[in-house]
Structures are given as structure tokens and as C-alpha cells.
Amino acid sequence: MPEEASYRASEPGARIRRLSAAEAEGALAELGALLTDAVAGGASVNFMAGFAAHEAETFWRGQIPLIAEGRRILIVAESDGRIVGTVVVTFAPQPNQPHRADIGKMLVHSSARRRGLGRTLLAAAEAAATESGRTLLVLDTETDSAGHQLYAACGWTEVGTIPGYALTPDGRPSGATIFYKAIGKA
């Protein structure tokens, strides 16, 4: 997915596109609102209940240099001009893993779920990783979460589950399930 390219979204009126570092900087408030919506809804995405808008913006601000350096790709879904979804591709930095990337911050706003945006964002992330020469994607997700269902529905292979890996936003231990997908091969 070249930086200027957009990706066909399944939902009418929705657009999937890659944000440059400057565009991400200009969208910090919207990106932050999306992340706080996910945490407030109980999603296990590294943060705890009470996660504030300014903390969410700080998280996204921290992504900007990584995007600028080409170490991460941020793809967003927009509906009616508003950001309603994100996914981040992180290129593995290890010299012996030049073919691998991780998927993270797969978020769709609670008002826009089950319309295919998650599936489309994931496909866009896979396409962007492929275009960058990566052939293996890895992620972890809260066991039995919507994310777990999404990756299973999108052809990812479940490796296994680590019990008690993280806390839910309200402090309950939850398992993490590891997935991988080989991409870009005929």
C-alpha cells in the first residue's frame, strides 16, 4: 500500500488509507478518541480503565517518529471524514527477521463495528506488509475476544494461548492467543 494509496472499503462511504507521519500528527485527537473508546469498551489493548484522552494522544504521538522512519505503517478507516478504525504494521527490527512484521492497534470504533471495517483494515495491513516485502505476520489478541474471532475469520493460524497474559481494563487476568499468517505467496 503506497503512502498515497487508498484501499477499497466494504462499507459505502468508508475509506481505508495510510497516514503519513504529518497526517497522523494532525489526527492525534481523533486517533486518541478511538483508543479511549476501545479501552472504555473493555478491550485489552495495553491500557487500563480510566485511560484518559491525553494519555491516548501521548500513545499516538509516540508512534509518529516510528512512522516517519518507516518502521511502522498506520492505516486508518474513515467514515464521513471521521477516523473510525486503525491498524498498525510494525516491521520486525531484528536483522534475522527481515521478512516479519507484527500487527497491532486493530481498532474499530464501537459505533462502526460488524460492518466489515475490521476485515478490510486487516486486508489493507496485509497488503501493505506484502508490498514492503514482508511475508510473515504475527499478532496476539485477548483470548475469545472480537479480535480473536476476526483473525480466525480472516485466515490467520492460531498458535496457542498464554493464560493470564494481561489484565482487562477492569483488572481481570485474561489470556492471549497468538496468531500468524504467511502472506504474499502465490
Q: Counting contacts by CB under 6 A, is residue 137 touching ligand COA?
A: no
DSSP 113: T
Q: Counting contacts by CB under 6 A, is residue 32 touching ligand COA?
A: no
In the complex with ligand COA, the residue whose CB is nearer, 24 or 86, is 86
DSSP 145: S
Among 19, 107, 124, 137, binds ligand COA (CB under 6 A): 107
Cα 43 from Cα 60, distance rounded (Å): 17
Residue type, 82: R
Cα 127 from Cα 181, distance rounded (Å): 12
Q: Least Å distance between CB 108 and ligand COA?
A: 4
Among 63, 79, 141, 143, binds ligand COA (CB under 6 A): 141
Torsion angle in degrees (nearest 10) through CA of 152, 110, 75, 140: -40
Build a one-symbol-per-residue string for 40-69: x at contacts with ligand COA by CB under 6 A, - elsewhere: ---x-x------------------------
Phi, psi of 44 (to 5 degrees): -90, 85
Strand partners, 76: 17, 86
Q: Counting contacts by CB under 6 A, is residue 36 touching ligand COA?
A: no
Q: Catalog residues that contact ligand COA under the rule CB under 6 A.
A: 38, 43, 45, 106-108, 113-119, 141, 145-147, 149-150, 153
